[in-house]
Structure 1
Amino acid sequence: MKKFGLLIAFLILLTGCTDRDDDLSGVKIRVKNESSFNFDKVQVGEAAMLHTNIAPGNFSRYLEYKTAYNYAYINITVGDENYILQPIDFVGETPLPEGFYTYGLKISEEGEVILNFMVD
């Protein structure tokens, strides 16, 4: 009886564990705030895709994108200020394969958005 109980407990623990790598469908992007102030909103690409309330040194949750590149249009809102990174085009660029990625974002003293792309 004791062995049966251990077997059941092991099966419950085994099936209850999940890993983010279990769902590799799509391109998932999160934002890391590499600045010293809070990001209220960060728009990456499409307007509907918003990462919100990211404290300095912290990460947003992953959002799934249909198509993404190792750089993107970025609009960071901090209070009443907007900071924008505007790519010219994606001609010749290869879309990212399915997986998990991080856009490390920092705003320079001059107000420029600096993007640090990372594969997770």
Structure 2
Amino acid sequence: METEAEQAHFGSWSIFSFVSSAIILIAFIVAIFSMYRIHAPIEASMVRVANETGLPLQNVRINSVFFGDVPVDGVSSYQALTPAYRYAALHVDVAGKKFDLVPEDYVGETPVGRGKFTYRVRRQYDDTTMYFDLQDATRDTTE
């Protein structure tokens, strides 16, 4: 006949076993999904930059991809960007000054995927300060 202490010890052992098994199962499931995401191919997007600032842009970079100089109302050539999101980091020189627009992160964002897209650079003002804004990447349908 089991004593009350033995029954309590057996009950706590069952709870421990159940919780341990559940944690191991959850870790296994997370590992499987993580491996799938790691090996999922990231599609390259072909992106270009349209200059809608009214000023010539020099040394244009989107994230780490170099697009070169983009004249007033001009459009750069397409470059592969992997992955491309609807917004990106912009680095540009204008009239000898460097301007940077860097997003905080891409949390919750989905890559735009395969296709051709255009980022539009526009000039903005905040009080008396000029800055440049990168408009959402729009899918090019004319090409």
Q: Which of the five TM-score ranges fits, normalised by the shorter chain?
A: 0.7 to 0.9
Secondary structure, counterpart of 2:74 in structure 1: coil
Secondary structure, counterpart of 2:50 in structure 1: strand
In the TM superposition, what is the alpha-carbon distance from 1:119 to its structure 2 partner? Answer: 1.2
Q: State the distance in 1 between where 2:107 and 2:46 align.
A: 22
Contact 2:116 2:139 in 1 (8 A): yes
In the TM superposition, what is the alpha-carbon distance from 1:82 to its structure 2 partner? Answer: 1.0
Contact 1:83 1:111 in 2 (8 A): no
Q: State the distance in 1 between where 2:87 and 2:69 align.
A: 21
Aligned equivalent of 1:32? 50
Structure (1 or 2) with the greater helix fraction? 2
Higher relative contact order (CA 8 A, sep 6+): 1
Q: Does 1:59 align with 2:75?
A: yes
- Normalising by the residue count of structure 2, what TM-score does the alignment of the two structures yield? 0.61
Secondary structure, counterpart of 1:37 in structure 2: coil
Q: Where does structure 1 differ by over 6 angstroms across 4 or more consecutive aligned residues?
A: none
Aligned equivalent of 2:139? 119
Q: Does 1:91 align with 2:111?
A: no
Aligned equivalent of 2:25? none
In the TM superposition, what is the alpha-carbon distance from 1:79 to its structure 2 partner? Answer: 3.5
State which structure, 1 or 2, has the greater radius of gyration over its C-alpha atoms. 2
Q: State the distance in 2 between where 1:113 and 1:88 align.
A: 16
In the TM superposition, what is the alpha-carbon distance from 1:26 to its structure 2 partner? Answer: 2.7
In the TM superposition, what is the alpha-carbon distance from 1:33 to its structure 2 partner? Answer: 0.3
Give the partner amino acid of 2:117.
Y
Secondary structure, counterpart of 2:135 in structure 1: strand
Q: How many residues end up aligned between the 2 structures? A: 94
The root-mean-square deviation of aligned C-alpha atoms, in Å, is: 1.4
- Normalising by the residue count of structure 1, what TM-score does the alignment of the two structures yield? 0.72
Q: Does 1:45 align with 2:60?
A: no
Secondary structure, counterpart of 2:55 in structure 1: coil
Identity over aligned pairs, percent: 27
Q: Gapped runs of 5+ residues in structure 1?
A: 1-24
Q: State the distance in 2 between where 1:97 and 1:79 align.
A: 34
Q: Does 1:107 align with 2:109?
A: no
